Amino acid sequence: MNAAVFYGPNNIKIKDIDIQKRKSNEILLKVLSCSVCSYDVRTFRNGHFKVTPPIILGHEICAQIIDEYQSKNLLIKPKSRVSIYPIIPCNACWYCAHKKYNLCINLKEIGSTLNGGFAEYILVPKTVFEIGGIIPVLDNVSNEEACLIEPLACCINGINQVKNLEINSVIIIGDGPIGLMQLLLIKKILNKNVTIIGKIPHRLESAKKLGADYTLLINEKNNDNDNDNNNNIFEKYKKLIKNTSSEFSPNLIFISNNNAGSLNLALKLVNKNGLIIIFSGIKNQNADNKGMINIDPNFIHYNQISIFGSFSSTPKAINDAMNLINSKEIDLKEIITKKFSLFEIEEALQATESFKGFKSIINN
């Protein structure tokens, strides 16, 4: 089969790979579509501490079953389309016992530590089926939408952590596909006022179309860790929400881009009793740790601020994401903007990195 193999920073090549030699605990699936995540781009450019090349990246996958598979409560017939939960649990640790597989202490991930979906076929360990991580794609859902079930589930995982806490308004720092998915979910689940802060005008236009109450354009050239810049954004935001209930009430701030300095901006924008979620992985730090944040413990203490992390998702969140897309309660069509063949993988990575459109999808 053809696969896009990552050999190290800036080095990805289409290779003919033999997949006949599969282990007894592996299931073979035909990849139909796999979308490009900014994690793939960061890894392609700089490598990643979790990734040991050579490896096939890609973890947002819609695939087709080849052999019938029967687990305890699910029969999946050949040719069925499925969405894949990209986490392989050890099933031995506390987190696995509590179905928080994303936090497994022996975590393995498809497209990161195991070969992923930028290929014609993929081998998935049977444990993924057994924990309910292979989810049949419902008829209303296209292959491309099925890829986005994984990132949508990650967004659901983030919102689940805070949805029962007191929040009056939401700010999303990041105007990419993740920021827009969070916007749609927050409107659906929490029904709060949402502001999107971003650097790309066409993306902020889409955010408005999808229901953002306010959008704020920040200068692309400015350093996110620059205090003057953050003060400037803070002033503009304060003007937007002046005399509304968002001005002085607990807010929720998503960091949905990969700049370390966004945490500084979030700390500037957060109100008393507010919450910050660090949703995205952060770009490689410089050797001198430029971009690292110093947090003032007194600020956190006296203002009762909470900072959360959110990583990946759970099989339950994948199911919830599938149902939201199938029922059309969440429509991701606006976010699917470009389709590529496997042979165009570099173009797809470049389109993602240069903020062209939103999601780039590799179709087989």
DSSP codes joined into one string, 109-174: EBTTTB--SSBSEEEEEHHHHHTT-EEEPPTTS-HHHHHTHHHHHHHHHHHHHHTTS--SEEEEE-
> Is 300 in a helix, a strand, or coil?
helix
Residues 6+ apart with CB under 8 A from 213: 193, 194, 195
The minimum distance between CB 132 and Zn ion, in angstroms, equals: 15
Q: Which is nearer to Zn ion, 249 or 363 (CB)?
A: 363
Smallest separation (angstroms) from Zn ion to the CB of 97: 8
Stretch that binds Zn ion, among 29-37, 66-74, 268-276, 310-318 (CB under 5 A): 29-37
Residue 123 CB, nearest approach to Zn ion (Å) = 20
For residue 156, the minimal CB distance to Zn ion (Å) is 14
Using the rule CB under 5 A, is 28 a contact of Zn ion? no
User: Segment contacting Zn ion (CB under 5 A): 49-57, 87-95, 208-216, 249-257?
Assistant: 87-95
Provide the minimum distance between the beta carbon of 57 and Zn ion in the complex, in angstroms, as a whole number. Answer: 10
Residue with smaller CB distance to Zn ion, 35 or 225: 35
> Can you tell me the distance from the alpha carbon of 290 to that of 275, in angstroms, rounded to the nearest whole number?
25
- Residue 46 vs 219, nearer CB to Zn ion: 46
What is the distance, to the nearest Å, from the Cα of residue 155 to the centroid of all Cα atoms in its chain? 7
Q: Looking only at residues 32 through 61 of this chain, which bind Zn ion when binding is defined by CB under 5 A?
A: 37, 39
Q: Please list every residue from 151 through 210 that binds Zn ion, using CB under 5 A.
A: none
Reading the block at residue 281, the tokens are: 């992985």
Q: Are 85 and 152 in contact (CB under 8 A)?
A: no
For 235, other C-beta atoms within 10 Å of its C-beta total 10
Q: Which of the residues 88 through 117 are near Zn ion (CB under 5 A)?
A: 89-90, 93, 96, 104
For residues 273 and 301, give the distance between their C-alpha atoms in angstroms, rounded to a whole number.
10
Binding-site residue total for Zn ion (CB under 5 A)?
7
Residues that bind Zn ion (CB under 5 A): 37, 39, 89-90, 93, 96, 104
